[in-house]
């Protein structure tokens, strides 16, 4: 592995490139969330089908993060990062020119695969460049860019959807991806990879891993049908098979030793999964609530939704710096507790809920998530040796995307049980509100569990 120190100029370029990359994919996610009702009306899609426009992207990303990060360790993280940005550009253009909703889902899956190439290597590159004393700040800036993407998505996505059509969102994403690829290719020449010359890629483990995650998510989202139950059971069995295979494989895709013997690493990743499981679908649910129940335009709904990620973007760099000085688990656990409170307040949403109530609650969720995410990211990346940065980066990204995927699956399951596979029309608004409140009860309970997992991880610096 290339462990040569890098100069300040290279650090600035790497931080700039990875920050733009960290902005790109969450901006895409939040922009599409605000555009979903418009897309759904154009293609006459049900609420569950609209959920799949978001979920298929997350599913592809989660299933491929670990395999792609392994390729980054073997062939170079910079190279894989550039390939991911180029593929994201191509997939975004294909989404913009899709002929129907079925092809849109296919191209969204391709977008998710490209995002896996970017996120599976980005944090590993940052952690390789910045030493421990500077890492929390650098990671905090990356996390802030993620939230800035989430912030800009509802506002810009709503504006573009309203004024230019939803296709323009994908075209803008393609331009950003091209910029990321060009910056990394032209201005970053150093490569980071683990010496894997005599090691082989675990194709069997990768296939089982992809089947396990895909089966789990697809099955969960298709419940309570018999097919959904069968697919879910198959996904769980594939996950058990994956653990068995990896524990016996000479060159495993995922080093299970870190989970068995590094408590800080294992519980920090569990806390990340739970946190994203509890919070990601908030944007999806509130976007539908504002546009269906409140009757707002996509542009207006975007301005309301910006309260949560805007506070995340403002607080994350400070939270990252704080975690360089204060034990990260204390900061992160405080954030999870605030998130639990915010989700609990969301249970009281109704037809008459005022924006004066909703905006502060969204801001509270943003504050809690910011206090959790940067310190938790710093904890995970600082709890492993440099040769494991690629795996740690991919594992964290997998927990994030798997949590997002699980969150959307829960939302779609609740919709399927309470509303059914139909469009959201005025005569079904009461059922929609019932489903939304039930989802927030589940998410609040998850966040409480995550707070205890965060506290139980132990101290990083001990």
pLDDT of 343 reads 94
Stretch 323-330: mean pLDDT, rounded?
77
Stretch 413-424: mean pLDDT, rounded?
78
- Is residue 2 a part of any domain in this protein? no
- Is residue 462 a part of any domain in this protein? no
Angstrom distance (rounded) from CA 252 to CA 447: 32
Angstrom distance (rounded) from CA 316 to CA 370: 5
Q: Indicate if the alpha-carbon torsion angle 191, 21, 109, 97 is positive or negative.
A: negative
The residues, any chain, with a CB within 8 Å of residue 291's CB and separated by 6 or more, are 37, 297, 298, 301
Cβ-in-10-Å burial (0-12, 13-18, 19+) of 241 comes to middle
Angstrom distance (rounded) from CA 61 to CA 398: 8
Q: Which of 368, 366, 369, 391 is nearest to 380 (CA)?
A: 391
Q: Where are the alpha helices (DSSP H) in 44-131?
A: 47-75, 77-96, 101-129
Stretch 415-426: mean pLDDT, rounded?
77
pLDDT of 116 reads 87
Q: Which of 175, 176, 156 is nearest to 166 (CA)?
A: 156
Residues 223 and 280 grouped into a single domain: no
Structure confidence by residue, pLDDT tens digits, 143-166: 778 777 766 777 788 888 888 888
Angstrom distance (rounded) from CA 108 to CA 112: 6
Of 262-271, 299-308, 342-351, the range with the lowest mean pLDDT is 299-308
Residues 124 and 18 grouped into a single domain: yes
Residues 226 and 299 grouped into a single domain: no
Residues 166 and 211 grouped into a single domain: no
Residues 153 and 180 grouped into a single domain: yes
Q: Which of 449, 461, 52 is nearest to 273 (CA)?
A: 449
Residue 461 pLDDT level (bands cut at 50, 70, 90): low
Residue 223 pLDDT level (bands cut at 50, 70, 90): low
Q: Is the pLDDT of residue 299 over 80?
A: no
Q: Is the pLDDT of residue 76 over 70?
A: yes
Angstrom distance (rounded) from CA 54 to CA 132: 35
C-alpha distance across the termini of the chain, in Å: 27
Mean pLDDT of the chain: 82
- Is residue 429 a part of any domain in this protein? yes
Of 60-64, 97-101, 135-139, 406-410, the range with the lowest mean pLDDT is 135-139
Residue 437 pLDDT level (bands cut at 50, 70, 90): very high
Residues 382 and 419 grouped into a single domain: yes
* Count of domains observed in the chain: 2
pLDDT of 224 reads 67
Q: Is the pLDDT of residue 260 over 70?
A: yes
Structure confidence by residue, pLDDT tens digits, 334-384: 999 999 999 999 999 888 888 899 999 999 998 998 888 888 888 887 787
Residues 271 and 222 grouped into a single domain: no
DSSP string covering 131-144 = -HHHHHHHHHHHHH
Highest mean pLDDT among 48-57, 64-73, 166-175, 224-233: 166-175
- Cα 359 to chain centroid distance, Å, stands at 23
Structure confidence by residue, pLDDT tens digits, 107-133: 999 999 998 888 778 777 887 788 777
Residue 194 near residue 388, CB atoms below 8 Å: no
Domain containing residue 238: 202-252
Q: Is the pLDDT of residue 448 over 80?
A: yes
Residues 151 and 228 grouped into a single domain: no
Residues 417 and 321 grouped into a single domain: yes
pLDDT of 86 reads 94
Domain holding 303: CATH number? 1.20.1250.20
Residues 317 and 448 grouped into a single domain: yes
**End of a domain among 252, 268, 286?**
252
Q: Is the pLDDT of residue 92 over 90?
A: yes
pLDDT of 441 reads 95
Structure confidence by residue, pLDDT tens digits, 377-405: 888 877 877 777 777 777 787 787 778 77
Residues 272 and 393 grouped into a single domain: yes
Residue 5 pLDDT level (bands cut at 50, 70, 90): low
User: Distances in Å between the alpha carbon of 252 and those of 2, 36, 201?
Assistant: 22, 39, 8
pLDDT of 167 reads 87
Stretch 283-295: mean pLDDT, rounded?
86
Residues 426 and 286 grouped into a single domain: yes
Q: What pTM was computed for the model?
A: 0.73
């Amino acid at each position: 592995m290339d462990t040569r120190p890098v100069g300040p100029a290279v650090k600035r370029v790497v931080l700039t490139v990875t920050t733009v990359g960290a902005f790109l994919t969450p901006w895409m996610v939040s922009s599409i969330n605000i555009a979903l009702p418009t897309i759904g009306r154009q293609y006459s899609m049900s609420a569950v089908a609209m959920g799949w426009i978001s979920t298929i992207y997350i599913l592809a990303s989660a299933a491929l993060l670990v395999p792609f990060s392994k390729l980054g360790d073997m062939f170079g993280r910079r190279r894989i990062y550039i390939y991911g940005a180029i593929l994201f550009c191509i997939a975004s253009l294909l989404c913009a020119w899709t002929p129907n909703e079925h092809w849109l889902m296919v191209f969204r899956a391709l977008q998710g695969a490209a995002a896996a190439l970017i996120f599976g290597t980005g944090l590993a590159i940052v952690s390789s460049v910045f030493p421990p004393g500077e890492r929390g700040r650098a990671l905090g800036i990356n996390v802030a860019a993620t939230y800035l993407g989430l912030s800009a998505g509802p506002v810009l996505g709503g504006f573009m959807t309203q004024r230019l059509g939803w296709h323009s969102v994908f075209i803008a994403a393609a331009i950003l991806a091209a910029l990321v690829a060009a910056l990394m290719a032209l201005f970053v020449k150093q490569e980071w990879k683990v010496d894997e010359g005599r090691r082989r890629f675990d194709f069997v483990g990768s296939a089982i891993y992809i089947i396990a995650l895909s089966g789990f998510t697809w099955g969960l989202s298709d419940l309570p049908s018999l097919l959904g139950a069968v697919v879910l059971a198959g996904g769980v069995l594939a996950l058990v098979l994956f653990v068995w295979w990896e524990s016996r494989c000479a060159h495993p895709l995922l080093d299970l030793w870190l989970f068995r013997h590094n408590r800080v690493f294992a519980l920090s990743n569990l806390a990340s999964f739970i946190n994203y499981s509890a919070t990601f679908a908030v944007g999806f649910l509130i976007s539908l609530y504002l546009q269906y129940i409140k009757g707002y335009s996509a542009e207006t709904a975007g301005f309301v939704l910006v309260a949560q990620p805007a506070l995340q973007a403002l607080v994350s760099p400070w939270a990252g710096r704080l975690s360089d000085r204060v034990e990260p688990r204390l900061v992160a656990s405080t954030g999870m507790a605030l998130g639990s409170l915010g989700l609990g307040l969301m249970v009281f949403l109704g037809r008459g809920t005022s924006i004066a109530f909703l905006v502060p609650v969204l801001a509270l969720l943003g504050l809690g998530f910011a206090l959790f995410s940067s310190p938790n990211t710093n904890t995970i990346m600082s709890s492993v040796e440099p040769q494991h940065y690629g795996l740690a980066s991919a594992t964290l990204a997998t927990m994030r995307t798997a949590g997002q995927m699980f969150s959307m699956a829960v939302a779609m399951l609740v919709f399927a049980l309470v509303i059914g596979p139909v469009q959201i029309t005025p005569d079904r608004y009461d059922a929609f509100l019932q489903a939304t409140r039930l989802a927030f009860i589940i998410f609040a309970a998850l966040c409480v569990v995550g707070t205890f997992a965060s506290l139980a991880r132990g101290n990083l610096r001990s």
